Amino acid sequence: MRIRAANYTNPNTLAQQTQRMKFRLVASFIKANEKLVRLGFGLLDKSVTAFNSAMRYNLENAIKGEFPTLSIDLAKVRLSEGNRENLAGVSVTALAAGQVKIDWTDNSGNGIGESTDKIYLSIGSAESGEVMITDANGASRLDETVTLTMPAGWAGRTVTVIGFTLKEGVTVEASDPDQVSTSAVYGSVTVL
State the fold for domain 88-190. Answer: Immunoglobulin-like (2.60.40)
| Residue-level pLDDT at 6 | 61
Residues 6 or more apart whose Cβ sits within 8 Å of residue 52: none
State how far the Cα of 3 lies from the Cα of 74, in Å rounded to an integer: 43
| Residue-level pLDDT at 75 | 86
| Residue-level pLDDT at 126 | 78
| Residue-level pLDDT at 7 | 61
Residues 6 or more apart whose Cβ sits within 8 Å of residue 73: 62, 63, 64
| Residue-level pLDDT at 5 | 61
| Residue-level pLDDT at 54 | 94
| Residue-level pLDDT at 2 | 67
Give me the tens of pLDDT residue by residue for the chain, a chain 192 residues long.
Answer: 566 666 666 678 999 999 999 999 999 999 999 999 999 887 656 788 899 999 999 999 999 999 999 999 988 999 999 999 999 999 999 999 999 999 999 999 888 999 999 999 999 987 788 999 999 999 999 999 999 999 999 999 999 999 999 999 888 777 888 999 999 999 999 999
| Residue-level pLDDT at 1 | 57
**Among candidates 106, 104, 138, which has minimal Cα distance to 120?**
138
State how far the Cα of 80 lies from the Cα of 161, in Å rounded to an integer: 14
Domain spans of the chain, in order of start? 14-72, 88-190
- Specify which residues 71 forms β-bridges with: 64
Peptide bond into 151 cis (omega under 30): no
| Residue-level pLDDT at 48 | 84
